[in-house]
Amino acid sequence: MSVAPDIDWEAEYNNRARVPEYPEIMAGWERDAAAYREARSDRSELGRSYGPHPRQFLDIFHPDKGEASRPVVVFIHGGYWRSLEPRLFSHLAAGANRHGLVVAMPGYRLCPEVTVPDVIADLQAACLDLHRRLRRPLVACGHSAGGHLAAAMAATDWRAVAPDAPENLVRQAVAVSGIFDLAPLIKTSINESLRLDEATARAASPAFWPVPAGVTVECWVGETESPEYFRQSRSLAERWAEVGARMHVETLPGLNHFTAPAPLAEPDSDLTQALVALCNAIAGQA
């Protein structure tokens, strides 16, 4: 994944500076998420632990009706692996729920308390917990750092993580404005929390992982994102497609880094339709 040497890395990855109205957008997240939890209180399970840390929990939103054999969507929040939490995003379960899909939203430990590989391990543990409880395949969906984690789940060697896990526990993912090569972040203030060096950044970058058979990833990027976000998705798609993965890159018209995941709340949006199509393809193979 080649990059130009004269890029202003801080400017490329400082999303809050690029979107000065982000506090209002995030306040909207909190309001809409709380309203969705209240409206779905009889169809949700909040705070299911999958580990001993307070942030190792799952919020699970069930549809009004759906087929028991269909995949579970695992939505992974962003925040550069160092901030935010899943209950800011509960409302993003609405689109998939309307299509009869269960949506699980895991929390995870944050940097600098832990490292990025530890965060990856938390998501793997959350996915294993869901599998052992529901016995269904999973489709990962994530925004920003959550897009990185969704791709990491799709590329995980699940048998190496847990002998009882199916090899294809997660092989499909939707990554919204994801980051898949972490090396550029070393040159930013973000790394004060992440504490990456060249070796650890590469090891934690799914762009450079072996790609198992059967991987399909949808990479969606907000139209007004920095050029680096487009490079990240296009480079991942090119690299993984070369070794057999099914990859697709799409732009979200008019959306910025903070508004890019919003279409997941809409059952008829193109983004939700792409996610549902991945789930339906798995269900059709069952």
Q: What's the confidence (pLDDT) of residue 65?
A: 87
Which DSSP string corresponds to the chain? Answer: ----TT--HHHHH-HHHH-TTHHHHHHHHHHHHHHHHHHTGGGEEEEEESSSSTT-EEEEE--SS--TTSPEEEEE--STTTS--GGGSGGGGHHHHHTT--EEEE----TTTS-HHHHHHHHHHHHHHHHHHH---EEEEEETHHHHHHHHHHT--HHHH-TTS-TTSEEEEEEES-----GGGGGSTTHHHH---HHHHHHT-GGGS---TT-EEEEEEETTS-HHHHHHHHHHHHHHHHTT-EEEEEEETT--TTTTTGGGG-TTSHHHHHHHHHHHHHHHH-
All residue ranges of the chain with pLDDT < 50 are: 1-2, 286
Contact (Cβ atoms closer than 8 angstroms) between residue 201 and residue 81: no
- Domains of the chain by range and CATH? 9-285 (3.40.50.1820)
pLDDT at 283: 67
pTM of the complete model? 0.96
The pLDDT score that the predictor gives to residue 285 is 55
Q: What is the pLDDT of residue 212?
A: 96
Q: What pLDDT shows up at residue 6?
A: 78
Q: Which pLDDT does position 81 carry in this prediction?
A: 98
